[in-house]
Structure 1
Amino acid sequence: MIYSAAIFDMDGLLIDTERVCMEIFKQTCKDFNLPYLEQTYLNIIGRNEAGVEDLLRASYGENMDYPVFRKQWKQTYLNIVENESIPVKDGVIDLLNWLQTQNTPMVVATSTNRQLALKKLAMAGLSNYFSAVTAGDEVVNGKPDPEIYLLAAKRLNINPSMCIAFEDSNNGVKAAVSAGMQTFQIIDLVKPSEEIKALGHGIYTSMNEVLIKLKQ
């Protein structure tokens, strides 16, 4: 495998935030007397703010007062992630350290807005590994559109085909593969569908497995 840079998603891949967000969503549904629609929730993982809103409005319709629901869900989530260090996913530090020894430039491409992404990385002690962050509020089209990955590669001045991309969600994988990157999917909450498996990318259960693959 030949590559010149590594691009990482953040939530559910580097830090274990997706489970926190899901549990808060479930509780918010209870507070608003709404059912927890598991498949709908899993489908929003990896999307930016606009994509999340579109899917939730489509699924819940008039039963959900989206602005009020979103405000409570988001504020409860922020109260946690802005004040507590969320655990780093297994194998992440070893992989980042190894890539550093290989002098591989590393950047983040996350659907999270830039300000919050920077804070999450800092709270997790990961900021110094990355030379740049490309965030969800810096693109028009969120994942699964490849725009965010193409922007990250452009900022590195590296052809997308020379980048390896790391993702956990199906939406993120679609984005990275569509951008022409060599893609690794490390499964978190969302299992790859048959459609995603057909993309032919690498699918792993942890970063430890990815590191073994890269060292070969």
Structure 2
Amino acid sequence: MTDRRLQAVLFDLDGLLVDTEPLWIRSAGEVLARRGHRWDLALRQRVMGRHPLEVARFMVEHYGLDDDPTALMEERLELQRGLYASEGIEPMPGALALVRQLVEAGIPRAVASGSPTALVATCLEALDLRASFSCAIGADQVSRGKPAPDVFLAAASALGVEPRGCVVLEDANNGVAAALAADMICVKVAREGRGATGAQLARTSLEALDVSTLRGLFT
């Protein structure tokens, strides 16, 4: 990979940059509990990182619900907004330090998330990170959600960099697949050590990453 160099770092959001994944699990669980169901662990792993509308479609199909998927998604997003307001939004360990390092090194940064853009903005504003990213691309800005590469390609385009020069930081298998489909280098960061699943590097925390490590992926 000697023809490649680090041009930008693209961050997933939920479960990677901010510790909001448990809140997404709670909102899904509440939506299903209202209909007499429990959030299935296997399904949860399958849809992690996907667009909320795709998740709603999976719910309707898997549980045999009568709901319109769009209405089900909106119900869940309303719950999600309430959880953000009541529970607060916290950064993942090492997130703020790594972003600060990248800012100081002058390496372009973007957020590329499976969440709607409005919720991405809510999270970044809560942590005073809005100015630390040149752009934030939500799932509603692209045609296809992860594992399709669209959101990462849109972020690279917005930054004016080549996909091959991007490192993606992801915690979900669908996100890793999306990064690889975009011809980007991927680092999987998952607390549970869920395996690299094709990622070029796997870590259990952003605390284990720094600018030197990310640049070293291109040598």
TM-score, length-scaled by structure 2: 0.87
SS of 1:214's partner is: helix
* CA distance in structure 2 between the partners assigned to 1:68 and 1:23 by the alignment: 18
Corresponding letter in the other structure for 2:151: I
* CA distance in structure 1 between the partners assigned to 2:161 and 2:17 by the alignment: 23
Alignment RMSD (CA, Å): 2.3
Which runs of structure 2 are paired with 1:44-193 in the superposition (5 Å)? 44-62=47-65, 66=69, 69-82=72-85, 85-188=88-191, 191-192=194-195
* CA distance in structure 2 between the partners assigned to 1:111 and 1:126 by the alignment: 18
Q: CA deviation at 1:111?
A: 1.3
TM-score, length-scaled by structure 1: 0.88
SS of 2:64's partner is: helix
CA change 1:179–1:144 in 2 (3 A) is: same
- Higher mean alpha-carbon deviation, 134-143 vs 30-39, is at 30-39
CA change 1:183–1:93 in 2 (3 A) is: same
SS of 1:98's partner is: helix
Q: Assess if the C-alpha contact under 8 Å between 1:45 and 1:169 holds in 2.
A: yes
* CA distance in structure 1 between the partners assigned to 2:24 and 2:64 by the alignment: 21
Identity of aligned residues (%): 25
Q: CA deviation at 1:18?
A: 0.5
Corresponding letter in the other structure for 1:213: T
- Higher mean alpha-carbon deviation, 102-111 vs 199-208, is at 199-208
Corresponding letter in the other structure for 2:209: V
Corresponding letter in the other structure for 2:57: D
1:97-127 superposed Cα distances (whole Å, 9 cap, x missing partner)? 1111210010111111112211221012211
Q: Assess if the C-alpha contact under 8 Å between 1:24 and 1:76 holds in 2.
A: yes
1:62-86 superposed Cα distances (whole Å, 9 cap, x missing partner)? 4667566544433222112146531
Q: Assess if the C-alpha contact under 8 Å between 1:90 and 1:208 holds in 2.
A: yes
* CA distance in structure 2 between the partners assigned to 1:27 and 1:101 by the alignment: 42
CA change 1:26–1:188 in 2 (3 A) is: farther
Q: Assess if the C-alpha contact under 8 Å between 1:169 and 1:185 holds in 2.
A: yes
Q: Assess if the C-alpha contact under 8 Å between 1:111 and 1:143 holds in 2.
A: yes
Task: List, as ranges, runs of 4+ consecutive aligned residues in structure 1 with deviation greater than 6 Å.
Answer: none
**What are structure 1's unaligned runs of at least 5 residues?**
none
* CA distance in structure 1 between the partners assigned to 2:150 and 2:180 by the alignment: 11
Q: Assess if the C-alpha contact under 8 Å between 1:168 and 1:190 holds in 2.
A: no
Aligned residue-pair number = 212
Q: Assess if the C-alpha contact under 8 Å between 1:161 and 1:181 holds in 2.
A: yes
* CA distance in structure 2 between the partners assigned to 1:68 and 1:141 by the alignment: 19
* CA distance in structure 1 between the partners assigned to 2:215 and 2:183 by the alignment: 22
